Structure 1
Amino acid sequence: MRPLLLIGLGLLSLTMEAGHPELPSQPLPKAPPAGSVRFAIPEEPQRPGDPKAGYDTLVNGDYVSCGVPWSIYRMAFGDAPASRRLPGRRGHNARLSYDVTALKTSRGVEVVTANCLGCHATPTEDGVIIGLGNSALDLTEDFAPFATAAGLLVRDSGELAEWWRWSGRIRAVSPYTRPDTIGVNPADNLAAVLSAHRDPDTLAWSDEPRHELPREAPVPADVPAWWLLRKKHAMFHTGIGRGDHARLMMSASMLCTDSVEEAERIDSTFNDVRAYLTTLRPPRYPYPIDRKLAAEGRELFEAFCSECHGTYGDKESYPNLIIPLEEVGTDPLLWQATAREGLPMVEWFNRSFYGRTARLVPGPGYVAPPLDGIWATAPYLHNGSVPTVEAVLDSRKRPTWWRRSFSQRQFDPVALGWKHQVLSHGKAAETDPSLRKRIYDTTLPGYSNQGHTFGDELSEEQRHAVIEYLKTL
Structure 2
Amino acid sequence: MRPYPGPSPAQAPRRWRPAVLLASLVLLGCDSGDPETASVAGQTVYRSAVGPVPAYPQRPGDPAKGYDALLNRAVVTCGFPYSGYVKAIGSVKRDGGPQFPGRTGRNAALPYMLTAYQSAAGVELVTSNCLTCHAAIFDGQLVMGLGNAFLDMTQDPLVAVESAGSYVTGRAARAEWRRWADRLGTLSDYMMTDTIGVNSAGNLTAALMAHRDPETLAWSDRPLIEPPPRQPLPVAVPPWWTLRKKHALFYSGEGRGDHARFMMLVAAICTDTVGEARAIDAWAPDVRAYLAGLPSPKYPYAIDRSLAERGYPVFRSHCKRCHGTYAEDWRYPNQVVALGKVGTDPELARAGYADSARLRAWFQQSFYGALSQAAPALGYAAPPLDAVWVTAPYLHNDSVPTLAALLDSRARPTYWRFKRTAGDQPIYDRVQVGWDHEVLTAGKAAAMSWDERNRIYDTTGKGYGNRGHAFGDVLSAEQRRALVEYLKTL
Give TM-score, length-normalised by structure 1: 0.91
2:373 aligned with 1:359, yes or no? yes
The one-letter amino acid paired with 2:212 is R
2:467 aligned with 1:456, yes or no? no
Structure 1 residues 310-329: aligned runs within 5 Å? 310-329=324-343
2:111 aligned with 1:97, yes or no? yes
CA distance in 1, matches of 2:309, 2:95: 42
Tell me by how many angstroms 1:147 deviates. 1.8
List per-residue Cα deviations over 1:12-57 (Å, max 9, x = no partner).
xxxxxxxxxxxxxxxxxxxx98544251000011111111100111
Bigger Cα displacement from structure 2, 74-83 vs 150-159: 74-83
**Cα 1:111–1:419, aligned 2, differ >3 Å: closer, same or farther?**
same
Tell me by how many angstroms 1:282 deviates. 1.8
Which of 68, 72, 87 is the equivalent residue of 1:56? 68
Tell me by how many angstroms 1:154 deviates. 2.2
Residue of structure 2 in register with 1:6 after alignment: none
Task: Mark the runs of 5 or more structure 2 residues left unpaired by the alignment.
Answer: 1-24, 31-49
CA distance in 1, matches of 2:138, 2:410: 32
Residue of structure 2 in register with 1:396 after alignment: 410
Residue of structure 2 in register with 1:144 after alignment: 158
CA distance in 2, matches of 1:405, 1:169: 35
Residue of structure 2 in register with 1:20 after alignment: none
Task: Note the aligned Cα RMSD (angstroms).
Answer: 1.6
Q: 4+ residue runs of structure 1 moved beyond 6 angstroms?
A: none
Tell me by how many angstroms 1:414 deviates. 1.0
Residue of structure 2 in register with 1:9 after alignment: none
**Cα 1:196–1:33, aligned 2, differ >3 Å: closer, same or farther?**
closer
Residue of structure 1 in register with 2:313 after alignment: 299
CA distance in 2, matches of 1:438, 1:253: 30
Residue of structure 2 in register with 1:88 after alignment: 102
2:237 aligned with 1:220, yes or no? no
Residue of structure 1 in register with 2:302 after alignment: 288
Do the aligned residues in 1 keep the contact of 2:199 with 2:237 (CA within 8 Å)? Answer: yes
Which of 345, 355, 360 is the equivalent residue of 1:331? 345
2:383 aligned with 1:383, yes or no? no
List per-residue Cα deviations over 1:334-362 (Å, max 9, x = no partner).
11221122222111111100000012002
Identity of aligned residues (%): 51
Structure 1 residues 256-271: aligned runs within 5 Å? 256-271=270-285
CA distance in 1, matches of 2:382, 2:156: 34
Structure 1 residues 21-420: aligned runs within 5 Å? 35-37=28-30, 38-77=50-89, 78-79=92-93, 81=95, 83-124=97-138, 126-407=140-421, 408=425, 410-420=427-437
Do the aligned residues in 1 keep the contact of 2:87 with 2:167 (CA within 8 Å)? Answer: no
Tell me by how many angstroms 1:167 deviates. 0.8
Tell me by how many angstroms 1:64 deviates. 1.1
Do the aligned residues in 2 keep the contact of 1:388 with 1:416 (CA within 8 Å)? Answer: yes
Residue of structure 1 in register with 2:483 after alignment: 466
Do the aligned residues in 2 keep the contact of 1:412 with 1:419 (CA within 8 Å)? Answer: yes
Match of 1:84, SS state, is: coil
Do the aligned residues in 1 keep the contact of 2:29 with 2:51 (CA within 8 Å)? Answer: no
Match of 1:437, SS state, is: helix
Match of 2:66, SS state, is: helix
Tell me by how many angstroms 1:125 deviates. 6.1
CA distance in 2, matches of 1:33, 1:199: 35
The one-letter amino acid paired with 2:259 is H
The one-letter amino acid paired with 1:236 is F
Bigger Cα displacement from structure 2, 355-364 vs 383-392: 355-364
The one-letter amino acid paired with 2:453 is R
CA distance in 1, matches of 2:414, 2:461: 10
CA distance in 1, matches of 2:363, 2:306: 50
Do the aligned residues in 2 keep the contact of 1:219 with 1:337 (CA within 8 Å)? Answer: no
Tell me by how many angstroms 1:124 deviates. 4.4
Which of 411, 428, 436 is the equivalent residue of 2:453? 436
Do the aligned residues in 1 keep the contact of 2:241 with 2:295 (CA within 8 Å)? Answer: yes
**Cα 1:230–1:51, aligned 2, differ >3 Å: closer, same or farther?**
same
The one-letter amino acid paired with 1:256 is C
Do the aligned residues in 2 keep the contact of 1:83 with 1:125 (CA within 8 Å)? Answer: no
CA distance in 2, matches of 1:425, 1:59: 42
Q: How many residues align?
A: 443
CA distance in 2, matches of 1:468, 1:391: 14
List per-residue Cα deviations over 1:55-77 (Å, max 9, x = no partner).
11111002211100111111222
Bigger Cα displacement from structure 2, 154-163 vs 235-244: 154-163
Residue of structure 1 in register with 2:36 after alignment: none
Do the aligned residues in 2 keep the contact of 1:197 with 1:205 (CA within 8 Å)? Answer: yes
The one-letter amino acid paired with 1:54 is G
**Cα 1:124–1:390, aligned 2, differ >3 Å: closer, same or farther?**
closer
CA distance in 2, matches of 1:382, 1:406: 23
Do the aligned residues in 2 keep the contact of 1:101 with 1:112 (CA within 8 Å)? Answer: yes
